[in-house]
């Protein structure tokens, strides 16, 4: 998995899965454009990665900002050859009958619509080059229902469908699209959960532990790399066996 100077864009790249994946891609030779809302965290990430990285602050839920960031990335590192659309919102947990319509709309816009915007933006140069790799961060909510989180589940089901549609349409052009499905990955959000609740989560995982961002990043890098040249239209779980467990 040597990326040999390929330009890869990672959204949601200032922390967690996005940051760890961006770091890994850069170590393996990619030129990585990091996109995230928090400019201070973004600047820290780029400084830590070094010359193979550049940061472009944007709220992906705002199309003008996303377009500008992607244009700036292409101007800096050249045409985008790989996209890891990782940015997302949890949407909060509220019963469906009381769910805020504005929160629903915002969650779908960031988790699904913005992914389509990003894909649509990077496709033309990929089609011209007859090569490209797109990876989208889904969720166990892409495969299962979850109570009291209708916006998140709807958006994550939708993004898996979008990935499959793009994979089929773009296959003749040499462009691949896949969806990585994180399980319980130890990120900032999970670290804020009380230890006793973390224990309950770990007990639901057949491997009896949470995954690490590094473990997911390895799979993401594979799916973005030429090593996965015959892999497209797939949803790839990194979940320690949760989705295949009757304990879910």
Q: Which residue has the tokens 């649509």?
A: 120
C-alpha gyration radius of the chain: 17
Q: 245 CB contacts (<8 Å, ≥6 apart)?
A: 204, 205, 206
Q: Which two tokens stand for residue 31?
A: 């030129």
Let me know if 100 is a catalytic residue. no
Which residues, in sequence order, are bridge partners of residue 211?
185
Q: How far apart are CA 157 and CA 122, in angstroms?
A: 22
The burial of 126, by beta-carbon neighbours within 10 Å (0-12 exposed, 13-18 middle, 19 or more buried), is given as: buried
Q: How far apart are CA 121 and CA 247, in angstroms?
A: 41
3, 56, 104, 152: the active-site residue: 152
As a 3-state breakdown, the chain gives helix, strand, coil percent values, each rounded to 5, of: 50, 15, 30
Q: Which two tokens stand for residue 120?
A: 């649509």
The SS3 of residue 238 is strand
The DSSP result for 35-85, as a single string, is: EES-HHHHHHHHHHH-TTEEEEE--TTSHHHHHHHHHHHHHHH-S--EEEE
- Residues that are catalytic: 152
């Amino acid at each position: 998995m040597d990326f040999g100077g390929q330009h890869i864009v990672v959204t949601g790249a200032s922390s967690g899965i996005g940051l760890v994946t961006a770091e890994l891609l850069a170590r393996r030779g990619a030129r990585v454009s990091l996109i995230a809302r928090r400019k201070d965290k973004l600047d820290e990430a780029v400084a830590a990665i070094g010359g193979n990285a550049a940061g472009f602050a944007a709220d992906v839920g705002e199309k003008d900002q996303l377009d500008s960031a992607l244009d700036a990335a292409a101007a800096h590192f050249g045409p985008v050859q790989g996209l890891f659309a990782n940015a997302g919102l949890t949407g909060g947990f509220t019963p469906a009958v009381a769910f805020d319509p504005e929160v629903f709309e915002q969650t779908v816009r960031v988790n699904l619509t913005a992914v389509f915007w990003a894909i649509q933006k990077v496709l033309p140069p990929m089609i011209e080059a007859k090569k490209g790799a797109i990876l989208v961060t889904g969720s166990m909510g892409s495969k299962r229902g979850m109570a009291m989180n209708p916006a998140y589940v709807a958006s994550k089901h939708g993004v898996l469908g979008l990935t499959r549609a793009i994979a089929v349409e773009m296959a003749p052009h040499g462009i691949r699209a896949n969806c990585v499905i994180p399980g319980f990955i130890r990120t900032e959000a999970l670290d804020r959960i009380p230890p006793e609740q973390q224990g309950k989560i770990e007990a639901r995982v057949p491997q009896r532990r949470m995954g690490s961002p590094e473990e997911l990043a390895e799979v993401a890098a594979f799916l973005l790399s030429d090593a996965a040249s015959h892999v497209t239209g797939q949803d790839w779980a990194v979940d320690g066996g949760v989705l295949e467990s009757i304990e879910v």
